[in-house]
Chain A
């Protein structure tokens, strides 16, 4: 029944001229989200009212490559123009509009401070408690908000990569993770001031997200169309592989409950996965939504935001057949009963088929078929090779073991 009522699209927030590159959620609120785009524009949205709290049209020259919220309503953005800018995200531009000398409107807002850097920045993330933030360019640097230069440089001395994303751990605020363009994933600790562990994978990752409930789980969105969760205590194999996308996965984000996460891919789909279940995610797509560059969960875990190439931030329901209004206790009991019925009968072929089929756009469907054919052919060839060689010479290798090539510490 829930397939009939699955209408996940809620609204589209416009305002950006070019593709939306990054999005960030304000930590202590449910519905305030900042997004940065390729034209240098920075918008702070109020998702529940679907309005813009702040719109800065030329925050950076070139694209805004990273956005994060700091302490007390402050916003940090970094761009490829080698600058990091600290903004005040108060919605106060109506009052200041007339008194402004230049007579310009709210778009001429000035940043509170500018931190210049040596190279183009790719990503930024703020420490949970202290006034520190970390940036990723060709190095991972830690900055203090009060100082205009980086206070420390955390990268391994031997690395010559570009770091594409950096994120602080949510439980232990001094641990930092980053992903680099040479297919690496690195863990740093601010207190020791250096990189602790590093793994090199088969293919490069595009995005990174720490789990909000279990402190050592990290999710990586990889170029080889898969998502991997790693437990940092055991980095030689991923703890779960999530296969579903048919093109590179560009972004990922955990739900605040820690039980689900959302990923947006180059194949123009947004997929919502359950933790531990590596196949058959929920798929959202629209004709108007092009390559999805960033995805985000709202703080109440009911909505998912996707920022895509066409410049729109779209709001989707996290559970496609949820009722948006008030759900009475009886309704909730009926919904839970139906869910447990589905769980009980999920082994039945017809029920399973109805539960897992999703409509896909034709190019995505065809790409998935082609991928499946190619992988099947590879597998059959492997099996035949194994059959016709001496027993025990080449044993099948587990899928999990193929992901990480090397581990360095």
Chain B
């Protein structure tokens, strides 16, 4: 029996929890263990032949930046938390090492000398310098069919063009294969691909239509009336449309149901964009406001007065995780806003040429198409705050003779900008605007048929519910705020111990871990504040709960109002006096709380004072 117990102790000894033992074991690790080993010869002889299986032996020393949880007495919880934190630290280090795998480099345009400017370099020079493969990006497609709008798929391989007169075409621009070409013979206002190039949706005159890859009409979405703009949220499988009646509709394209429709109550809306980081929809309205919408709220999450006059275009920066938003108004101004702090525009300037069309690229370059040319600005100048309404230093410019310029779109993993105008679509090269390293599990420009099918199924399985869309994407998974219920611990509540919430139970038994608590409400602040509060005679939480007035005290007030004021009624007088006393008490409490008055010091003669 003893050898059995010795074998088990060699692997995992039973620790009898006594306070002295705990301190000793932490203070002196070396000598104590050696002594105990020598004392028991059976244990030593057995321990030499007892080894842990390889899978249970520790693999590598834990990294230094892992948090240590030595203040937690529960061993299971402590080991679990330390294991979690070491795992986190190790995976962060591995992530850093994985940057080796990013083999491609971003493009760049540099000028030598002070006098030369980057915007003086024309497209011909860039195409000759870039090389044949990249020069394929510089193309002009002449089509007649009204001013053209374009859209790329998420992997940048396929492009869809739609003209206002009803000419729709989707094709693979790298190989030149046309998937579908349709003449719809009615006004078409926007086009978007759904999950990949196999389906696309067109915002036609009355309704939204969904087509197959080959142009076969699949669905007529009658609930989307007079759509002007379309967006597809890829992780939620939601098709969003906004139209002339001013309704914003979310439709789930995998189940086919309309998730929610919001009345914007701001009239017809002609600009929409999505924030790719948190799937929030930004709308620009005719009265100059920009509103941010989520499916959860019937009113906009954020309402911002951006311009004097209608908003012509909105776009969100994907490179800074959706931090910056650019808006252009019909008054000719272009403003860059910080989405975390809506106080004022980060940067404002006047775009010569009236209302502009905007788009951010993956690396943070902003393309502004106004008048007859497209201007491209790069970071960091457009994102640093600047007071004067001067346009930022220009990176690239390209004149497009066909007015009006109706759309600008950056191709996702290429340095290409597609400009839609009244005579077709032109693509120009913008070095350094596209992300060079693509993540093939997210968007792969070189995926074959099998990969496309697998990715479609996997993204369906990973579909996120629409009510998970929030302004702050890290909200889900964060700690909930403390409930406002008065605790059962203090005060006369008779909730038995077993039914208390977990934190209250820990507090009662004295084992609550206060170190990780988030001190949010002011009353539970630092210790000095708490002491001052008590000294000023503030009521405890339970007392406040008891004395809180519930309701409006309407009956008393109604009684007083019904009595005519010139009739002196002793009852009414008494009631009025009581109300005044309450008011005075409240004012006093407020004054004491704010520190203007001192709390009355209790004296021994208080009992003789008449209560007036």
Instruction: Give chain A's interface residues, CB within 8 Å of chain B.
Output: 1, 169, 171-172, 175, 187, 189, 192, 196, 213-216, 231-234, 276, 379, 383, 386-387, 396
Contact = CB atoms under 8 A, between A and B. Distances in A.
A387 B496 contact: yes
Contact of B14 (A192, A231, A276): A231
A346 to B, nearest CB: 13
B14 A396 contact: no
Interface in B1-40: 1, 3-5, 7-9, 11-12, 14
A172 B7 contact: yes
Contact of B1 (A175, A276, A379): A175
Q: Which of B1, B14, B53, B494 has the most CB of A within 10 A?
A: B1
Contact of A383 (B3, B7, B14, B496): B496
B42 to A, nearest CB: 12
A216 B497 contact: no
B498 interface: yes
B497 A189 contact: no
Given A1-B461, A187-B1, A234-B14, A379 B8 contact: no
Contacts of B497: 383, 396
A171 B497 CA distance: 43
A356 to B, nearest CB: 19
A233 B8 CA distance: 9
A169 B11 CA distance: 17
Contact of B498 (A213, A233, A383): A383
Contacts of B14: 231, 233-234
Contacts of A192: 1
Q: Which of A172, A234, A276, A386 has the most CB of B within 10 A?
A: A172
B297 to A, nearest CB: 22
Given A1-B461, A379-B498, A387-B496, A214 B12 contact: yes
Residues of A contacting B: mostly = loop
B12 A233 contact: no
Contact of B8 (A1, A196, A214, A396): A214
Nearest to B46: A172
Contacts of B7: 171-172, 215-216
B4 A175 contact: yes
A233 B5 contact: yes
Contacts of A234: 14
A109 B497 CA distance: 65
A396 B500 CA distance: 15
Interface string B72-105: 0000100000000000000000000000000000
Contact of A216 (B8, B53, B498): B8
Contacts of A196: 1
A396 B509 CA distance: 13
Given A233-B14, A379-B498, A189 B8 contact: no
Given A189-B1, A233-B9, A386-B496, 4 more contacts: A172-B3, A214-B11, A231-B8, A232-B5
Contacts of A169: 4
A387 B494 CA distance: 9
Closest 9 CB pairs of A and B: A172-B4, A216-B8, A383-B496, A189-B1, A233-B14, A215-B8, A215-B7, A196-B1, A175-B4
A175 to B, nearest CB: 5
Nearest to A338: B461
22 contacts: A1-B461, A171-B4, A171-B7, A172-B1, A187-B1, A192-B1, A213-B53, A214-B12, A215-B4, A215-B8, A215-B11, A216-B4, A216-B7, A216-B8, A232-B5, A233-B14, A379-B498, A383-B496, A383-B498, A386-B496, A387-B496, A396-B497
